[in-house]
Every structure is written in C-alpha cells, then in structure tokens.
C-alpha cells in the first residue's frame, strides 16, 4: 500500500494559532502560579528562635517590593482610596513566636491613622500591634501565630499617595459597572452580527425570495442536477452529491449492483485517464468518481468508500466538488460575484470574531477580575458561529440567475404536482431522466408517486438478481443507500478553501 501525506494549510494555520493560544494560556497560568509560589517562599521563614521579619517597600509607582521580588497586585484602587492588602501568613503549617512586617512608605505620614492601617488575624494569632517607627516606616507585629492562622495587613492609602496605573483604574471602573450595563454591552457583538447579516441580506434577499407558481414540464436549461440544486436551495447539500451519482448511473458512467443485503458501485469503463465518455463529464463529477473508485478498481462497496473516508479528517477533493459546481454557475453568468470569494470575506470576519471570542473567554476564565466579560465573549462566539453557518448560503445571483431560478422552481412544481403522470411508451425514460433533479430538490418521493401503477422494469443502470423491481424500491432502497454515501462524503469536506487553492 502506498501512503501519501497531504498537508491542509488552512487547518495547519488554525491549529498553529490554537497551539499559540494554549501556550500563551499556559504561561499566564504558570506566571500566576509563580507569583503565588514566590509569596509562599517569602513566608516560609526559618529561624530557630521563631522570630521572623518580612521587609516590604511601597514604591511610588504602586508596585510593592517584598524581599527581592516586585509585586504589582498588592495595591489596587477603591472608590475613595487605594487599598494595600498583603497576606503575610496563611496556614503555613508551622508556629511563629513573633512575626514582624516592616513597611517602608514612599512619603512621610504623621500617624498610622493617616493610612488607616489595620490587621486581620484569625485561627490562632496572639497579640497584634501597629506602630510608626518613623514618618516613613510602619511596623506590624503579631505574636504566637499558630500553624493554621491567617494574618493579613491592610492600609487605605489616600488618592494620589502612589501612582496607580490607568489600567488598574479602568479595571476598577469596569468591575463596578452595574450588571445590567454588562448585559447591554454583551449585545454589542450580537448587534454587529446583525449588521453584517443585514448587509448580506440587502445584497442577496432578492435571490433568496425567488419563487414561482408556474409549472414547466422540462428543465429550463442544461444545468446538471447539482448545479440546479444550488439555484433552488441556495447551497450545495448532500442531496446534490446523491443526485450526481444517480445522474452518472443514468448516463451509463457507473452502475449500481444490488446484492440483496448491500449495494456496490461499479465503474462501467476503464479508458485511459478516466471513466469513459470523459468529454461529457464535469470536472466535479470526475473528482467524485475519483473519490469513490481507486484508479485500478472497477468496483467500490460501501465498506470501500468508508475506508477511504476514514483516511481523512478533511477532504480537499470534496471541497473542490463544491467549488467547481459554484464555478460552473459563475462562468455561465448565474452569479454576480464568485460565490466562494464572496463567502470568504464573511468567513474571515467570522473566524476573527471566533478566535477573539475564544481567547477572551479563556482569559476571562483564568483571570476572574471581570466575570461579566464572559457574557461578551460568549456573545462574540455565538455571533461568529452564526455567520460561519450561514456564509455558505449567501451567493449573489444575476438578473439572469434570478430568472433561471424562477424557471427551475417552475420545473420543481412539475415534479411535485399530485397529478398522475400519463402512461406512454417512454414514461420510464422520462421518470429516470428527471429522477436526479427530484433527488437534488428533495422531492424524489413526490416525483415517484406520480408513476405508481405504471408497469416498471429494471433500469439498465441497476444490476440485481431480483425477479421484479418495483418503482418503490428506487426511493426506499437505492436512493437511501446513495444518500448515505453522499452524506458521509459531505461530512469530511474541507471547511475552507480559497479560489486559488
């Protein structure tokens, strides 16, 4: 067996970006753990006399130096003051006879009350004391600290006493915004999404609303079932692929073999470079056949197809099928702009929103300073997902394309009418010729029911050992098998592919 390695560059870029985000998150977490660990290392003082001293220096820029480490998170803004809060001892697991915290201030003060110094001592702390050693040095003392105790010192620094970064002030302001403001803000991404969707709607609404009550008894043009399905459904679906397989069978390119318990595809011709009648095959039809059959094989069972599908997470070949169907319609003048290029513009916007939303959501989960931000990030992710979902459904049709869409709707009306099809010598040829279109439009049952009661013979493209094949067997057995294969193929379509890929 020959192994081949395919590189899907768009998926590679996506996973590289995802890895970068994960690495960034790891270092953010690691950095946070390091700051916490460094505080623990500072507090784990060792002295045989059980007398411990922690030197602290408050810097003018609001950073705090503890021993040789700088911490920017000890001083934070409040409404009328800036709060200094330091946990000097927190259940360290050993007893302390006397714990002294010496705080050097950046500016002189007259008394400890000027900065409203206080301590919180719980779970086993003896006497505590706060004293002003000199105009710029405060000393906090705690006696007989038990292993399970927590000892915290706080000071209310007057506004302007130290310089608080604008980012902290902004964060404080955001934290104190009422929750209903956050709910309103979280609607901003939704509004942006609706603006984008309205922009899309204003361009394609006329294409979406094209309908017809007329009845046309034959296809209005020479479009294949897959191409016609795009005009009817505004997108390619698995039914488009299923219709293509049936159309290939009707045209004699492949046969379907009924083994009673399972079905098999059979390639009818093995000419060089293809499957016979290559001049009549569209490029996307060749790609589909290449996906079903190996070059040296003429038969392909459901297990063979599933095995080939299992080799890929994404299939570029199936993506090219979609792309080529759109290109065929674009070249024939049905679309104002190439659909793939038009959709890509909105997909790029959506993927940027999705990436920003996921990154913001992760960071907000780690740093819970602004928990309500999760509402905004969730809104961003939901909006991006919605745009990604509808982007493949927004091609822009030309006036000619809209006119032809009405005509194809009229032909669909003919397929779905409840009136029995009149019996004639060539009724079965008519049935088989239009069956792929009915499958593409999702109305194969309506089309088949019009022929109930007519004498039906085995189609030339269906090989079976049954004594008699009923017309009901087509829609109850054969179409579901082909539909299943088609849905499996569409599930592995590469999500994004550029026009120049």
- What pLDDT digit, counting tens, does each position of 290-319 carry? 888 877 778 877 777 777 666 655 566 777
* pLDDT (average), residues 377-382: 77
User: What's residue 412's pLDDT?
Assistant: 92
User: What's residue 17's pLDDT?
Assistant: 62
Residue 189's φ and ψ, nearest 5 degrees, are -60, -35
Tokens of 127: 């006497």
User: What's residue 278's pLDDT?
Assistant: 47
User: What's residue 393's pLDDT?
Assistant: 59
Confidence class for position 408, pLDDT limits 50, 70, 90: very high
| DSSP-assigned beta bridge partners for residue 122 | 150
Name the DSSP letter for residue 421: P
Lowest mean pLDDT among 5-9, 177-181, 213-217, 425-429: 5-9
* Dihedral sign computed on CA atoms, order 264, 265, 269, 274: negative
Give the pLDDT confidence of 279-293 residue by residue, as tens digits.
478 888 888 888 888
Q: Are 357 and 377 in contact (CB under 8 A)?
A: yes
C-alpha to C-alpha distance for 483 and 402, rounded to whole angstroms? 28
Sorted by where each begins, the domain ranges of the chain are: 44-175, 177-209+340-396, 210-336+397-491
Mean pLDDT across the chain? 76
How large a percentage of the chain has pLDDT more than 90?
A: 7
Residue 492's φ and ψ, nearest 5 degrees, are -105, 10
User: What's residue 277's pLDDT?
Assistant: 45
Give Cα 164 distance to the centre of its chain.
39
CA angle 242–244–246, rounded 5-degree value:
75
Q: Residue 491 pLDDT more than 50? A: yes
Q: Residue 481 pLDDT more than 70? A: yes
C-alpha to C-alpha distance for 469 and 439, rounded to whole angstroms? 19
User: What's residue 371's pLDDT?
Assistant: 65
C-alpha to C-alpha distance for 56 and 105, rounded to whole angstroms? 9
Higher pLDDT pick, 485 / 501: 485
Q: Residue 434 pLDDT more than 90? A: yes
Higher pLDDT pick, 126 / 439: 439
Q: Are 340 and 498 in contact (CB under 8 A)?
A: yes
C-alpha to C-alpha distance for 395 and 99, rounded to whole angstroms? 73
User: What's residue 26's pLDDT?
Assistant: 53
Confidence class for position 347, pLDDT limits 50, 70, 90: confident
Q: Residue 147 pLDDT more than 90? A: no
CATH class of the structural domain 44-175: mainly beta
Question: What is the H or E stretch that residue 471 is in?
Answer: helix 471-473
Residue 202: burial class (beta carbons within 10 Å; 0-12, 13-18, 19+): exposed
Residue 262's φ and ψ, nearest 5 degrees, are -160, 165
List C-alpha distances in Å: 275 to 211, 258, 280, 287, 483. Answer: 38, 21, 11, 11, 22
List C-alpha distances in Å: 446 to 221, 237, 451. Answer: 22, 19, 10
Tokens of 136: 């710029």
pTM of the full structure: 0.55
* Contacts for 261-264: CB closer than 8 Å, 24+ residues apart: 262/301, 262/302, 263/301, 263/302, 263/478, 263/481, 264/299, 264/300, 264/301, 264/302
- Residue corresponding to tokens 């849905």: 487
| DSSP-assigned beta bridge partners for residue 119 | 153
User: What's residue 367's pLDDT?
Assistant: 63
List C-alpha distances in Å: 279 to 241, 286, 323. Answer: 20, 11, 20
Residue 146: burial class (beta carbons within 10 Å; 0-12, 13-18, 19+): middle
Give the pLDDT confidence of 200-212 residue by residue, as tens digits.
666 665 555 566 7
Tokens of 27: 């270092």
């Amino acid at each position: 067996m020959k192994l081949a390695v395919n590189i899907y560059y768009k998926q590679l870029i996506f996973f590289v970006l995802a890895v970068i985000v994960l690495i960034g998150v790891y270092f953010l977490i690691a950095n946070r753990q390091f700051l916490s660990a460094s505080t623990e290392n500072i507090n784990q003082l060792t002295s045989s006399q059980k007398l411990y001293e922690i030197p602290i220096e408050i810097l003018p820029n609001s950073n705090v130096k503890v021993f040789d480490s700088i911490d920017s998170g000890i001083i934070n803004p409040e409404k009328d003051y800036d709060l200094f809060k330091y946990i000097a001892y927190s259940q360290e697991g050993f007893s302390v006879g006397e714990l002294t915290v010496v705080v050097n201030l950046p500016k002189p003060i007259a008394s400890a009350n000027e900065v409203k110094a206080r301590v919180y001592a719980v779970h086993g702390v003896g006497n505590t004391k706060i004293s002003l050693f000199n105009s710029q040095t405060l000393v906090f003392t705690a006696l007989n600290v038990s292993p399970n105790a927590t000892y915290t010192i706080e000071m209310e620094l007057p506004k302007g006493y130290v310089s608080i970064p604008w980012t902290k002030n902004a964060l404080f302001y955001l934290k104190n915004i009422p929750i209903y403001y956050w709910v309103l803000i979280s609607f901003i991404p939704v509004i942006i999404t609706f603006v984008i969707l309205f922009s899309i709607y204003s361009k394609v609404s006329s294409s979406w609303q094209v309908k017809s009550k007329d009845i046309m008894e034959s296809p209005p043009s020479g479009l294949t079932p897959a191409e016609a399905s795009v005009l009817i459904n505004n997108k390619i679906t698995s039914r488009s692929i299923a219709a293509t397989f049936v159309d290939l069978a009707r045209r004699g390119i492949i046969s379907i073999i009924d083994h009673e318990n399972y079905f098999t595809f059979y390639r009818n011709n093995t000419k060089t470079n293809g499957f016979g009648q290559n001049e009549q095959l569209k490029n996307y039809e060749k790609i589909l056949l290449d996906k079903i059959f190996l070059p040296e094989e003429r038969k392909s069972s459901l297990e063979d197809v599933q095995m080939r599908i299992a080799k890929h997470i994404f299939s570029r070949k199936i993506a090219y099928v979609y792309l080529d169907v759109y290109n065929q319609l674009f070249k024939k003048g049905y679309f104002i702009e190439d659909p793939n290029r038009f959709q890509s513009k909105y997909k790029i916007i959506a993927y940027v929103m999705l990436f920003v939303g996921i990154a913001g959501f992760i960071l907000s989960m780690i740093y819970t300073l602004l928990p309500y931000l999760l509402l905004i990030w969730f809104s961003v992710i939901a909006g991006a997902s919605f745009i990604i979902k509808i982007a493949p459904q927004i091609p822009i049709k030309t006036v000619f394309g809209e006119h032809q869409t009405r005509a194809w709707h009229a032909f669909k009306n003919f397929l779905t009418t409840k009136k029995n099809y009149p019996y004639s010598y060539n009724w079965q040829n008519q049935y088989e010729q239009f069956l792929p279109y009915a499958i593409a439009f999702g109305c194969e049952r309506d089309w088949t029911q019009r022929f109930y009661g007519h004498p039906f013979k085995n189609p030339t493209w269906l090989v079976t050992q049954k004594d008699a094949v009923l017309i009901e067997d087509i829609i109850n057995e054969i179409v579901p098998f082909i539909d299943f294969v088609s849905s499996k193929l569409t599930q592995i379509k590469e999500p994004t592919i550029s026009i120049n890929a």
